[in-house]
A and B are shown apart, each in its own frame.
Chain A
Amino acid sequence: MIQEKLREKAKELLSKKEVDLIIGFSEWTLPLRTTPVFIRTPEGTESLAWNSFCENNLATYLHKFGRFKVGIVVKGCDARSVVALSLEKRFPNHRPLLIGVPCQRMVDRKKVKKAVKGEILQAVEQGDLLVVKGEDFEVTLKRDDFLYSVCRSCTHRTPNQADFLIGDPVEEFPLDEAHPDVSEFEGKTPEERWGSFEKEISRCIRCYACREACPMCYCTECFVDSTRPKWIEKSLSPSDLAFYHIVRAYHQTGRCSGCGACERACPMDIRLTHLTQKLNQEVKDLYGFETGIQPEVPPPLSTFHPEDEQGFIK
């Protein structure tokens, strides 16, 4: 069982003092969720969990632990973020050790909640099924019907860049055509697109959970917090909200692993990953580059080659 193997590996790394700290997932107080844990003792590894609710991208914590030798549990997307961070020279002292788990793709808890009436008290995975229980109901759902949208279109589930792979690589499903969320958005007229964007961001409360959940958002001073110069006001005016969300997406160009942590972190259920997915697609089409797949290839927007695609400069 993957969870057992994961605990074993983590225990071994801590016992042999190959790492100071393991960052992983643990079950906690709510069903359909896990929580990030920071484990420093071999005994502590007993609390490590692996299931379809390991939704956080733990790479975002690596910025906090630069001084330590860290072992980190990663899915395919998380591993890509770590590689991208490494290319941005974020690990001058210790490169984190990646404990990779081929990902079964994560369950969208908000979607599951919408499918039942009443509070969910327990959610148990049984193979491909998800048994959800409440005070006066019990429903069996097909797990794959409740995956996060970014997971449904994931093309890199196995973290091949990992130092240790727990379990066997899983089958990958390359996308034949454009990303489904992107094509849906592109199918709209410009007015409809702006309308749908405006509607999503109108719920924004500027808590910056999207920014903080993202491993790639690590600026010491985010442009929204800068007062000299002041790029943006702090209130909830539509133009400021639009500015924040557009710039946040743009800053991800060539850096986003498409993990969807931003969307999952949002308490207001703002769904905007089609923007970053579109940018990922553009970078792939223009430069043949996918974030964090090849550890030795620097991101295209940080480099220059005379033969780079330049047709878009008009």
Chain B
Amino acid sequence: MKFKLDKKDFERFLKDLMEAYDLFAPVQLAEGVSVFRKIDQPEEVHLTQLVPQKSAKEVFFPQSEVMFRYETVEHREPILSEQRIERERVLLGARPCDIEAISILEKVFAGEDYTDVYFLEKRRKTTIVTLSCNHPLTTCFCSSTGGGPFRRDGSDLFLTDLGESYLVELLTEKGMAFSKNRFFREAGSKDFDLLKELEEKASKKAEASIPVEGIEKRLDLMVESPFWDRIHEKCIGCGVCTFLCPTCHCFDITDEAVNLKGQRVRNWDSCLFPIYSLETSGHNPRPTGRERTRQRLMHKFNYYPKNFDRVACVGCGRCILYCPVHFDIREALLYASSRRSKGQEGQSR
């Protein structure tokens, strides 16, 4: 089912949404810096930055999340769980890559072996309104990792910016709940033609260029490759790539307590931090950047694919755009797939 939503009605559309749902969308924190946040005022919604620094994973898996609080009162220890969320949610304005990443997280947090109540509660109560990617960046490589700028899987509603309006596609039962929305107008053949044109243009621009198929097998043979001796050298071991990555999902659990009152919190963690793998004895099985960089790439392109049959990368390009030393994961992948990269990420000099 397809409709049209005029941009002049957009803020009022959001206002309506917010009456029934908690709305999560990109907001701009500073010029050129945006993240997904709960929206208080419709005008905060900021859809122009193609890849906000922090991805939409934060709506389901916040960087810092209180799991429960506790307090000892006269020998009894009440534990107050924080998993429940009261209102239904809408995530609006994430691009197809971020939505694809949520399905990657789902396999881990809501899979057969293990269920994470915190993730699941949010996922179940969220309706996803995706925004198409009309102008992919040159750092985008979603088509190479199984996605695409107009990939609709995982979306309940799918918006395409037509200039003066959005074309709205209702794709699921959750999406169909919007079919009577008072701002939706009938869309015509002109709109569908434009949609087709935009989709073709974007898909052409984002054509697959990085060969990831079968990469886990090639990496199997590369565990002790000299490749790792060089590739990590420029990595300074910060957490930018892992924290901004929409699929990275490691966390650390700590207790923040004062006297008899406290809370258990989980925070994102990064395999590139030396302390990540430091054991109580003082031994660190991943003592240098070599092992840590290998872990980052192996998890995405070897361990995860072995478990779940797809790479744990959606090609959003955040790790390329925001890396302080300009590490380019595409070049590492080109090399690993034995197509020679043009320089450092693959070969020593």
Contact with B along A182-223 (1 / 0, CB 8 A): 000000000000000000001101111101110000000100
Q: A29-B331, A264-B324 are in contact. Are A203 and B29 (CB under 8 A)?
A: yes
- Docked pose: A211 CA to B238 CA in angstroms: 8
Please pick, from B53, B238, B320, the residue contacting A213 in the complex, using a CB distance under 8 A. Answer: B238
Determine, out of A39-47, A124-132, A172-180, the stretch whose residues face the partner at the interface: A39-47
> How many residue pairs at the A-B interface have CB separations less than 8 Å?
133
Q: Check if A142 is an interface residue, CB within 8 A of chain B.
A: no
- Docked pose: A43 CA to B289 CA in angstroms: 26
Give the distance to chain A from B241, nearest Cβ to Cβ, in Å.
9
Residues from chain B with Cβ under 8 Å of A206 in the complex: 239
Q: Check if B178 is an interface residue, CB within 8 A of chain A.
A: no
Q: Check if B243 is an interface residue, CB within 8 A of chain A.
A: yes
Residues from chain B with Cβ under 8 Å of A269 in the complex: 30-33
- Docked pose: A41 CA to B230 CA in angstroms: 14
Contact A28 B343 (CB under 8 A): yes
Contact B237 A235 (CB under 8 A): no
Contact with B along A253-297 (1 / 0, CB 8 A): 000000000001111110000000000000000000000000000
Residues from chain B with Cβ under 8 Å of A43 in the complex: 349
Residues from chain B with Cβ under 8 Å of A114 in the complex: 31-32
**Closest B residue to A39 using CB positions:** B349
Q: A212-B238, A267-B244 are in contact. Are A35 and B327 (CB under 8 A)?
A: yes
Please pick, from A28, A29, A225, the residue contacting B275 in the complex, using a CB distance under 8 A. Answer: A225
- Docked pose: A213 CA to B64 CA in angstroms: 24
Please pick, from A37, A237, A264, A267, the residue contacting B234 in the complex, using a CB distance under 8 A. Answer: A37
Please pick, from B237, B240, B326, the residue contacting A35 in the complex, using a CB distance under 8 A. Answer: B326
Residues from chain B with Cβ under 8 Å of A202 in the complex: 29
Residues from chain B with Cβ under 8 Å of A89 in the complex: none
Q: Check if B265 is an interface residue, CB within 8 A of chain A.
A: yes
- Docked pose: A267 CA to B317 CA in angstroms: 13
**Closest B residue to A208 using CB positions:** B238
Residues from chain A with Cβ under 8 Å of B240 in the complex: 207, 209, 265, 267
Interface residues of A in 208-246 (CB under 8 A from B): 208-209, 211-213, 221, 225, 233-237
Give the distance to chain B from A75, nearest Cβ to Cβ, in Å.
16
Give the distance to chain A from B139, nearest Cβ to Cβ, in Å.
7
Contact B138 A36 (CB under 8 A): no
Residues from chain A with Cβ under 8 Å of B134 in the complex: none
**Closest B residue to A118 using CB positions:** B135
Q: Check if B328 is an interface residue, CB within 8 A of chain A.
A: yes
Contact A205 B243 (CB under 8 A): yes
- Docked pose: A38 CA to B289 CA in angstroms: 15
Q: Check if A56 is an interface residue, CB within 8 A of chain B.
A: yes
Please pick, from A33, A119, A203, the residue contacting B33 in the complex, using a CB distance under 8 A. Answer: A203
Q: Check if A121 is an interface residue, CB within 8 A of chain B.
A: yes
Residues from chain A with Cβ under 8 Å of B252 in the complex: 234
Q: Check if B83 is an interface residue, CB within 8 A of chain A.
A: no
Contact A119 B137 (CB under 8 A): yes
Q: A203-B30, A205-B54 are in contact. Are A30 and B236 (CB under 8 A)?
A: no
- Docked pose: A86 CA to B321 CA in angstroms: 33
- Docked pose: A215 CA to B348 CA in angstroms: 24
Known: A26-B344, A207-B243, A267-B240. 7 other contacts (CB 8 A): A35-B327, A38-B349, A47-B344, A47-B349, A211-B238, A213-B236, A267-B53
Please list the residues of chain B having a beta carbon within 8 angstroms of any beta carbon in chain A. Answer: 29-33, 53-54, 63-64, 135, 137-139, 230, 233-234, 236-240, 243-244, 252, 254, 256, 265, 267, 270, 273, 275, 289, 320-322, 324-328, 330-331, 343-344, 348-349
Please list the residues of chain A having a beta carbon within 8 angstroms of any beta carbon in chain B. Answer: 26, 28-30, 33-41, 43-44, 47, 56, 60-61, 64, 110, 113-114, 119, 121, 202-203, 205-209, 211-213, 221, 225, 233-237, 264-269
The 7 closest A-B pairs by CB, nearest first: A44-B349, A265-B324, A209-B238, A207-B239, A235-B64, A267-B322, A212-B236
Q: Can you sample 5 A-B contacts with CB below 8 Å? A: A38-B230, A47-B343, A207-B240, A233-B256, A267-B324
